[in-house]
Structures are given as C-alpha cells and as structure tokens.
C-alpha cells in the first residue's frame, strides 16, 4: 500500500469519527459507535469502513443501517473537510471487534485474578 493511500486512510478515519458525532439519525446517535478500521482502495473510489459498538453485534448492524441512510451527508462532509477532488464511496460494515476485545480483556483479568489467588494459597 502506498503512502498516499495510508495517509488517506488515517485522514478519513479521523474525520469520519468527528462526522459521526454530527449524524442525527437515532440509530447512530444513540449508541457508542467506534470506527475500527478504514480501508480506501488504491484508486480512492471506495472506502470500506468497519464500525463496532459496545452493545453487541445486533446494535452495530442497526447502526450500520442508519449510517447507510446518512452516507450522502457523511461523504459530503468528509469531502469538504479533507478537500479531496474525489471523495470515495463509503461502504459501512459491522464488526464485533470492540465486544471481542472486551471479552478477551475480561478473560485476561479473570486469569490474572485466579493466578493471584493461587500464589496467595502457596
């Protein structure tokens, strides 16, 4: 991946996170939505956006439906903010990355606590 695409990925992710706070759709506004990853194609025509919520996969899928309906507004805002000649078409996809990460963190904490108990018993 070339430097231009990597830089565009980071710029789009940063601005997308800011624009999502301005979306008035209740499916998007009423949940803690996080942009996990942004992948812009080499020709900058498409942009895959992976989003996740703490509320689980069903809530994330509902938020993605809201994002798809607001895609025109979001795309226009990103184009204005980044001053791109051609703003990529946004393709929103749900992922359970936050929930998955929280589960792994919980499992590690539980493991750490059980090891502490074992060391105290010895």
Q: Is residue 109 part of a domain?
A: no
Structural domain for 56, as ranges: 3-96
Q: Is residue 117 part of a domain?
A: no
pTM above 0.85, yes or no: no
Reading the block at residue 43, the tokens are 């020709």
Q: Is residue 107 part of a domain?
A: no
Chain centre to alpha carbon of residue 84: 21
Please report which confidence band the pLDDT of residue 122 belongs to, taking 50, 70 and 90 as the band edges.
low
Give the CATH number for residue 21: 3.30.300.20
Chain segment 103-121, per-residue pLDDT in tens = 888 888 888 777 777 777 7
Please report which confidence band the pLDDT of residue 1 belongs to, taking 50, 70 and 90 as the band edges.
low
Q: Is residue 118 part of a domain?
A: no
Q: Is residue 121 part of a domain?
A: no
State the total domains in the chain.
Answer: 1
Q: Is residue 29 part of a domain?
A: yes
Taking 3-state DSSP, the helix, strand and coil percentages for the chain, each rounded to the nearest 5, stand at 60, 20, 25
Q: Is residue 64 part of a domain?
A: yes
Buried b (16+ CB within 10 A) or exposed e, 15-54: bbeebbeebeeebbeebebbbbebbbeeebeebebbbbbe
């Amino acid at each position: 991946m070339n430097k231009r695409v990597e830089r565009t990925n980071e710029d789009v992710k940063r601005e997308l996170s800011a624009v999502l706070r301005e979306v008035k759709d209740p499916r998007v506004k009423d949940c803690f939505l996080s942009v996990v990853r942004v992948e812009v194609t080499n020709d900058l025509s498409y942009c895959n956006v992976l989003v996740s919520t703490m509320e689980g996969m069903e809530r994330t899928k509902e938020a993605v439906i809201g994002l798809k309906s607001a895609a025109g507004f979001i795309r226009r805002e990103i184009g204005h903010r980044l001053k791109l000649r051609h703003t990529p078409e946004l393709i929103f996809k749900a992922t359970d990355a936050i929930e998955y990460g929280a589960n792994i963190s919980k499992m590690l904490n539980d493991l750490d606590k059980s090891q502490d108990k074992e060391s105290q018993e010895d």
